[in-house]
Structure 1
Amino acid sequence: MSLLFIFGADKIPWHRIESLKDSAPEIILWAAPAMFVFVCLEVFISYRQNKKYYNKIETLGSLGLGLGNVVISTWIKILLFYMAVWIYNLVPWRMELNWWTFIPCYILFDFCSYWTHNISHRQRFWWATHVAHHSGEHYNLSVSFRLSWMQYLKIIFLLPIPLLGFHPIIFFVTNQVAILFQFWVHTEYIRKLPPIIEYLFATPSNHRVHHGSQEKYINKNYGATFIVWDRLFGTYQKEEEQVIYGITETVEHKGNPLHLNFHEFVAIVRDVRQARGWKDKLFYIFGNPSRMAQRRKEKKPV
């Protein structure tokens, strides 16, 4: 009876989807003005303190990427919600809409996000959907806006969450809260927090490491909210020396959103055309980006 109580929810009638979607809270939309104010405040303080945390061109690129994402996410949100309802009605273990289901949903969502992020750094195709976020050489709150317009392809890695029977609104809210959490970690102004917080969460200190281009920092600290996944799976690195931001290869046109979004896809197409045989072609699509960069630096054939 207890399992039936948890997993015995009725299907959502299709005629109710519009009203259900309209009732889902727009957390990111509500938070956007505050995020913008905090960015402006950080710009002002860093300017007054003569700290070079912001670069005009990079900041314009971040804002351009962010505005593009606002437009795209408006449509993606609708598709995502319909997809979540369709899966919810498909599985027989549907959960009722209860606030407490947000907690296990968020933990499992973050676990999937960890592996999504991990794959995004280890396979070139997925790296192409993520490289825009790492292309800046300055670390500040505006970097949280610096997200590829192609990142939505990675939704497929989050499908286990709705397949577990979580209510679509819970899934929708979890996704927004997870995105919002990642705003505050992109700053130099918050240094190390108390040890227990640093041990459990992806703090600014932990996430600065993730954006580092030094060898010891590359492919470390993938956790979006919880850093414990990195500790469990051997990808954790604490912040030690000053982080050098950016990627190992210089990205041109850091203020051009179109270039930031698609330059790596263009490079993939170019490399595949020049490659000999299917093995090399597949490597150029799904190979490890770090290995390719190292080979190019050594001027060796892949």
Structure 2
Amino acid sequence: MDLNFTEEIMYTLPFYLGPLFLLASINFFRKQKNYRLNDTLTNASIALGNLGLSFIFLLAVVAVYSLVYSEYKFFDLDQSDPLTYVLAFLLYDFLYYWNHRFHHMIGLFWADHLVHHTAENFNFGVSIRISYFTELTMWMTFIPMAFLGISLEVFLIASYAQIVWAFCIHTKWFKSTPIADKLLNTPSLHRVHHARNTKYIDKNFGGIFIIWDRLFGTYQTELNDNPVTFGVRESFPSFSPLIINSYYLKTIAKKIRLSSSLFEVVCSIFGPPVWLPKKANKSTFYSKTCKIDSKNFKAKDPYLSTKTKWTCFNRFICIIVVFCYLMMNFGALPVLPLIILSVLFFWLCHYNGIVFDGFKIGWTTEIITQILFISFLSWAITSKQPEYLILSTGILACLSLVNYLIYSNKKSQYEENNLDIQQQ
């Protein structure tokens, strides 16, 4: 089994991050505000974590799907027949609707899907803001396609078509599309799905087609007198990918602690997100942001100086380099450096996130980063790895340290803050 993902990285990473940074750059030069640096780099960091884990999880998913198709399929369909493709597209979209709806109805699945909905800016970056563990909760719904005789190749074509469509509809463009809304899940209808407005919650679950929502009573148009406010009712507390991915799990744990029976424990895990155990105080269980009207809700956006933004962008470059090396050599690395690099990747993502949160980072955070870099560097030197790897690791470690020294310079950052405020 090939666990080195060089080809996957070469073909997938530009497709994932290229359009995001192109559109963000255009947004920046036009002085628009739909792509913020904190939000954009958080989306990209979450996407990288999802991408890396998906490469690994998909090996098992593909194996299960192929086994079911080869051994247990009910029908022997002609995989070259256009009607088979039509069936696959329709069936995939139908199953996607229910998979998506289950992710809103079942607490444990919502813990996974919530990551996608925590974005408070609506742009292309939201389409790749996907939980680390999405593949673990998505695959089961689509196994019926294998039983019905749809091959893996046809299944993947149908799924890729849905992925591309999903990328395209995460946009504020196309304000009104009443004709397309009758059949397709349009940007307008998907904006409704991402709203925290009461009227819009749990609406428009469709993938490419919106007909399933019309059939099953979850259809809702975007209303001029009720502008969409993006995000979730309980605003997520951080830009850290680790915190965002684990946030609702803490809510489930809180429900379990308040449960007084096995039934309530089960409901805490698998019940709808709105369900609460009897001992829970409904008025205080969730944060105050739940009670804020959508028209008065403001996206989380702590002020950051220009120098701090540059350090975060530099750190993100480190994140990409570590990620690419890790995934391209995943199967070849011994266990120890594999663990070190994996921890380093997630730690750097978290590091950037808490800086974006506006926290003053202490020396402990950077020491942990340096320990991880030095540990990998020691392995590279003692195992006589190529000089480019040793040199690049040392450069990244130095870059991280310089970033911290710049960020921790209180006087220069204070002056930078005052200068930026005066310029705004």
TM range (shorter): 0.7 to 0.9
Aligned counterpart, 2:99: 116
Distance 1:299 1:74 in 2: 40
Q: CA deviation at 1:32?
A: 5.0
Letter in 1 for 2:231: G
**Residues 220 and 237 in structure 1, CA contact (< 8 A), matched pair in contact too:** yes
Report matched runs for 1:106-185 at 5 Å: 106-152=89-135, 153-185=137-169
**Residues 88 and 94 in structure 1, CA contact (< 8 A), matched pair in contact too:** no
Aligned counterpart, 1:5: none
Q: CA deviation at 1:94?
A: 2.6
Q: Secondary structure at the match of 1:129?
A: helix
Q: CA deviation at 1:249?
A: 0.4
The C-alpha deviation readout for 1:152-180, integer Å capped at 9, x for no partner, is 22211111111111011111222222122
The C-alpha deviation readout for 1:208-244, integer Å capped at 9, x for no partner, is 0000000000000001111111111110110113210
Aligned counterpart, 2:231: 246
Aligned counterpart, 2:343: none
Aligned residues: 274
1:284 to 255, 268, 275: 268
Larger radius of gyration: 2
Letter in 1 for 2:193: H
- TM-aligned CA distance change 1:38 to 1:192, over 3 Å: farther
The C-alpha deviation readout for 1:75-95, integer Å capped at 9, x for no partner, is 233222221221112224232
Find out whether 1:204 has 2:211 as its counterpart: no
Find out whether 1:220 has 2:199 as its counterpart: no
The C-alpha deviation readout for 1:130-173, integer Å capped at 9, x for no partner, is 00000111111001110011212221111111111101111122
**Residues 96 and 167 in structure 1, CA contact (< 8 A), matched pair in contact too:** no
The C-alpha deviation readout for 1:93-149, integer Å capped at 9, x for no partner, is 232331622221011011011011111111211111100000111111001110011
Find out whether 1:61 has 2:45 as its counterpart: no
Letter in 2 for 1:128: A
Q: CA deviation at 1:280?
A: 1.7
Using CA pairs under 8 Å that are at least 6 residues apart, name the structure with larger relative contact order, 1 or 2.
1
Q: CA deviation at 1:297?
A: 5.6
Letter in 1 for 2:234: E
Distance 1:131 1:296 in 2: 23
Aligned counterpart, 2:284: 299
Q: CA deviation at 1:34?
A: 4.7
Letter in 2 for 1:44: S
Letter in 2 for 1:256: S
Distance 1:239 1:81 in 2: 38
Distance 2:15 2:250 in 1: 36
Q: CA deviation at 1:35?
A: 5.0
- TM-aligned CA distance change 1:34 to 1:126, over 3 Å: closer
**Residues 81 and 172 in structure 1, CA contact (< 8 A), matched pair in contact too:** no
Distance 2:67 2:201 in 1: 39
Q: TM-score by structure 1 length?
A: 0.83
Q: Secondary structure at the match of 1:290?
A: coil
- TM-aligned CA distance change 1:52 to 1:286, over 3 Å: same
Percent identity (aligned): 30
Q: CA deviation at 1:29?
A: 6.9
Q: Secondary structure at the match of 1:289?
A: coil
Moved over 6 A (4+): none
- TM-aligned CA distance change 1:92 to 1:168, over 3 Å: same
- TM-aligned CA distance change 1:166 to 1:250, over 3 Å: same
Letter in 2 for 1:166: I
Distance 2:67 2:119 in 1: 38
Find out whether 1:85 has 2:66 as its counterpart: yes
Distance 1:46 1:280 in 2: 48
Q: TM-score by structure 2 length?
A: 0.60
Find out whether 1:71 has 2:52 as its counterpart: yes
- TM-aligned CA distance change 1:34 to 1:85, over 3 Å: closer
1:94 to 58, 66, 76: 76
Q: Secondary structure at the match of 1:252?
A: coil
User: Is 73-82 or 225-234 further displaced after alignment?
Assistant: 73-82
Aligned counterpart, 1:188: 172
**Residues 53 and 133 in structure 2, CA contact (< 8 A), matched pair in contact too:** no
2:241 to 257, 261, 274: 257
Aligned counterpart, 2:318: none
Unaligned runs of 5+ in 2: 2-6, 287-424
